[in-house]
Amino acid sequence: MKVGITAFAGICMKLWDKGISIDKKIEQFTVGNDREIDLHIAKYDIQASLAHAKMLESIGVLSKEELAKLEGGLKILAEQIEDGTFEIEAQFEDVHSKIEFELTKTLGEVGKKIHTARSRNDQVLVALQLYYKDNLGLIYDKTEVFFNTLLNLAETHKKAMLPGYTHLQVAMPSSFGLWFSAYAEVLIDDVYLLNAALKTVDQNPLGSAAGYGSSFGIDRELTTKELKFSTLKYNVVAAQMARGKSERTIALTLGSLCNTMARFAMDICLYMSQNFSFISFPDELTTGSSIMPHKKNPDVFELIRGKCNKIQALHTEMILITNNLPSGYHRDYQLLKENMILAINDVKDILDIFNYAIQQIEVKDIDLNDAKYQYLFTVDNINTLVEGGMSFREAYQIIGKQVQEGTYKPDISKAHTHKGSIGNLCLEEIKAKFPKREKHP
């Protein structure tokens, strides 16, 4: 049997309940699927509520005995969240009303005090900031694992040659070492943005209440330390304006990382095709066709590419929802949560599966003496003539004429030795360049 609003005297199912009923259609529309989404931030609401309760005790709003009761009640709820038994039933708007209900049901009047000096606005904001901080940290860790995998593959296959392309036309000689380490170094740029996003969300908004602070003498430094934020978002209006700003910053960061992975996945799909045939993967990592028995499809990389491209659209969505909102809270912000949380979960999964699959890549021997690759070495041959004293332009014209007349014969003996080239990958330098994760207090 569902618990009704009057099941427990004085206990509200909505934090804003004033005893006035609301149209059910309006309620359904405004709540949406917040209950399901809020399960992702439930444990962070508990953490913030615990810090808030400690702060209330420190300023005399709660007694030590009341704090101890709230700590016990919050611990029980935290354990339910951890073991998966915590639910947000249909009569509750969100996780915040559910938690206060449970505390009040269990502890009576003490539970009703937990919301003193805060609003649902800063309650959801601080829970989201904690969720973002934790999960961006996980994405950092998974990106670093993927980065190291690519550098290891670059070292393993550094002598394996690969045709280089521009405009999808044969261009110059490359190598698998150069290819793997290129994507590794591009990940570094993504991590620069990731660290910026981490710094953006690592600011405590709790205490901003509805966006204009509180007349209680609250101690915001205490909650900042308790929640391990690096700093406060001092201005209470600025704290509320972080809603939307954080999501736009994170979406930009995820989009950058996904752009790198989508391009890499596209390379893999091309290189696996029979027309390139540079790489392969074990049969168990590929799929077949319902009609063509010879097919060995790179579905995992196609789905990585598709999911990553979808996530790149998230930034536009975050901008369009928040672009012209004035300062202060607006219900539009509720619409940011779902796709942001889904995207974060998808990025974690993509990094895991990409790292798992790429380690099983099978690099094929490519014969660069094949006629279709003969023009890979024209630039090297021009450089040989320049080293003999000829101007570059004259050497370019000589080799160009040979190509046009069909008399060009490639000399594949020239070595590339400068930093970052085929013969000098600088893998240790790239490894040392990976940005350190910002330390939290």
119-153: pLDDT as tens digits: 999 999 999 999 999 999 999 999 999 999 999 99
Domain 24-113 adopts which CATH fold? Fumarase C; Chain B, domain 1 (1.10.275)
Of 360, 439, 428, nearest to 185 by C-alpha is 428
pLDDT at residue 218, as a whole number: 98
Neighbours of 316 (CB within 10 A): 12
Domain 120-215+234-368+427-433 has CATH 2.10.109.10: no
Q: What angle do CA 363, 365, 368 make, to 5 degrees?
A: 130
* Cβ-contact 200, 81 below 8 angstroms: no
Q: 370 to each of 95, 163, 328, 376, how far by Cα in Å?
A: 64, 11, 66, 11
Whose tokens are 């003193």? That residue is 116
Q: How far apart are CA 193 and CA 440, in angstroms?
A: 17
Section 275-299 average pLDDT = 78
Q: How confident is the model at residue 177 (pLDDT cuts 50, 70, 90)?
A: very high
Strand partners, 173: 163
pLDDT at residue 21, as a whole number: 62
pLDDT above 70 covers a percentage of the chain that reads 90
pLDDT at residue 438, as a whole number: 67
pLDDT at residue 298, as a whole number: 86
Query: For 309, what's the count of Cα atoms within 13 Å in the CB-facing half-sphere?
Result: 11
- Of the ranges 63-67, 261-265, 408-412, which one carries the lowest mean pLDDT score? 408-412
Higher pLDDT, 127 or 32: 127
Tokens representing 88 are 């947000």
CB contact set of 382 (below 8 Å; sequence gap of 6+): 392, 395, 396, 399
Q: How far apart are CA 330 and CA 334, in angstroms?
A: 8
Of 257, 248, 384, nearest to 316 by C-alpha is 248
Q: How far apart are CA 31 and CA 24, in angstroms?
A: 10
pLDDT at residue 5, as a whole number: 35
Q: How far apart are CA 140 and CA 194, in angstroms?
A: 7
pLDDT at residue 32, as a whole number: 63
CB contact set of 136 (below 8 Å; sequence gap of 6+): 194, 197, 198, 201, 250, 253, 344
Tokens representing 120 are 């649902």
Tokens representing 168 are 């999808």
Q: What is the mean pLDDT of the chain?
A: 91
Task: Give the start-to-end residue ranges of the domains of the chain.
Answer: 24-113, 120-215+234-368+427-433, 371-405
Q: What are phi and psi of 279, to 5 degrees?
A: -140, 165
Q: How far apart are CA 19 and CA 98, in angstroms?
A: 17
Residues composing the chain: 441
CB contact set of 29 (below 8 Å; sequence gap of 6+): none
Report the SS3 class of residue 186.
helix
For the entire predicted model, the pTM comes to 0.91
Whose tokens are 């003498």? That residue is 217
Using the 8-state DSSP alphabet, how is residue 421 labeled? B
pLDDT at residue 47, as a whole number: 98
Q: How confident is the model at residue 76 (pLDDT cuts 50, 70, 90)?
A: very high
Tokens representing 105 are 């049901």
The b/e string for 198-213 (b: 16+ C-beta within 10 A; e otherwise) is: bebbbbbbbbbbebeb
Tokens representing 251 are 């979406």
Of 125, 127, 128, 112, nearest to 48 by C-alpha is 127
356-411: pLDDT as tens digits: 999 999 999 999 999 999 999 999 999 999 999 999 999 999 999 999 999 999 99
